[in-house]
Amino acid sequence: MSAPADVRTIREIPLDAIEASAIDVRSTPKAIDELADSIREHGVLQPLLLHAADPAGAGPFEIIAGRRRLAAARVAGLATVPAIVEDRPPHERLELQLIENIQREDLDPIEQARGIAELQRLGETIETIAKRLGWGVRKTYATRQLLDLDEVVQEGVREGDLTPSVALLVARIPKKLQREAAVQVTGMPFREAKVELGGFSRPLFEAPWDQDDAELVPKAGACTACPHRFDDDGEAALCLNEDCFDAKRKAFGARRIQEAAAAGATVLKPKAAKGVFERRYDHRRGGEVWRPTKASGYVGLDERCDADPKGRTYRKLLAKAAPPVVLAPSPAGDVVELVAAPDAKAALKKAGVELQKPSRSTSPDLAYRRQQAEWRKKAELENVAKAAVRGELVAAIEQTSTLESGEFWRLLAAAAVAEVWYDHLKQTARRRGLEVKGDVHGAIGAAIANASAAEAKAWTVELLCHRGDYRSRREFLHEACGLYSIDHAAIEKRVRAAAAAAAKPKKKPAAKKKPAKKKAPRKARAKGGTP
């Protein structure tokens, strides 16, 4: 191979002598045309990089870098292009081609991820790839993880339905759940999507184990170095592998019980601990936790004492008193430290801790329950309003005369059933008055099989409109209403107004005052009579 100093001379190379590379370039015709216009006016300002076994010879030459410029030069009608010709080994040529391809501005994230994966296949590490691209290691690794997405979801990323940051959240969810998750967050900004996908992740501040412990579950390693750890936005770190999180929770619980039993501590067996706990919302932690019920006769050491005006935990309040501690496995698999409620009360009294009776009106749990009730009420009203809109839409479609094939619409309606979630199918069956005995799919399938073309069309639209219950898909219902001149906003307003009117307490008519009864005059006592 000739020394680079001898061959880094710019030469004019005929276009006919340059062969295409193995790397596919997916530039749009518009982008190539715009570059061709620039080349016609200014020429090729940056030379191409070519490979040839004999750099000083007449070719043929293989393009290494500058494929878009080569394509645009052909469109511009040039006969030659400026180029530097070198003799590079095959793996080095491929690496350079991949690097150039990944750095293109018009390349979609999935293609970038494939390029990074190809470089890894050639023996490059994420760190070296990041350095060559001029990217951060985290960005490079995150882009590579997009290949962990389901193929259908990958297509959504390429089409721009999901941003790379949102797609990365979806990529770290188990593959069997990714399509469902992607539907929920399509079109959402990152922060909203993170909240929406909260059910697929666990906040790591809930982990009771040391996150640097690589021996707890040896296969998984430490949480701090785990690829399923997500904390790119600088907020609380998330674990996006629920199975691993639960496995570590159970392993840590088993370890603690073993250690406690060896030390002679009291440990409740799983059967005895089963009725001790209930799931409750902890507004300070922003999530649901397992806490001992009042009827169990225990309090959790890490539970906040409602009667303490400072909101301290029992652990902090009882630090000096040291009452007997009982360990119990919770339904989540972790181990909770408990103290018998009478022991806790006596220890607090002995320690001189002043407590106040908690007010029901200010109780965090009560406030949360009230908030939940408001949310449910709002969601129910939204469902009633949407059902009213769908009802009028269905009626309008069924009244439309059609010459279209009933078989086609029945087939389409049956396909729509498979795209709708079970709860939505139950709502549809209920709205239409179908008798469902356990098998809602079977009941709707039978109704569709016997439907006319107009009825099957109405079924199709109604089922697909259910996808509009998510913010990213609401437009479908609205557009369908527009086709049949239905004012969806007016219907929803009417339903809400009727619900608000029905919720107002009716004034009771003022009760009529009854006339006061006249008291009978007392009879005068006879003189000399007995009193």
φ, ψ of residue 287 to 5 degrees: the values are -170, 175
Q: Which has more confidence, 412 or 2?
A: 412
Q: Which residue has the tokens 């100093």?
A: 5
Q: How far apart are CA 229 and CA 240, in angstroms?
A: 6
Q: Which residue has the tokens 């119990």?
A: 328
Are residues 144 and 167 in contact, defined by beta-carbon separation less than 8 angstroms? no
pLDDT tens digits for 51-102?
Answer: 886 777 777 888 878 877 888 888 888 888 888 888 777 777 777 777 776 6
Please check the confidence at residue 402 and state whether its pLDDT lies above 80. Answer: no
Examine residue 60 and say whether the peptide bond preceding it is cis (omega within 30 degrees of 0).
yes
Q: How far apart are CA 81 and CA 73, in angstroms?
A: 7
Give the DSSP letter string of 301-317: TTSB-TT-TT--BHHHH
| Segments making up each domain of the chain, as ranges | 4-102, 270-362, 373-499
Which pLDDT does position 393 carry in this prediction?
75
Non-local (6+) Cβ contacts of 93 within 8 A are: 21, 51, 62, 64
Average pLDDT of the residues in 398-407: 64
Please check the confidence at residue 199 and state whether its pLDDT lies above 70. Answer: no
Q: Which has more confidence, 260 or 366?
A: 260
Please check the confidence at residue 529 and state whether its pLDDT lies above 50. Answer: no
CATH architecture entry for 4-102 = Alpha-Beta Complex (3.90)
pLDDT class of 491 with cuts at 50, 70, 90:
confident
- Segment among 109-123, 200-214, 257-271, 470-484 with least mean pLDDT: 470-484
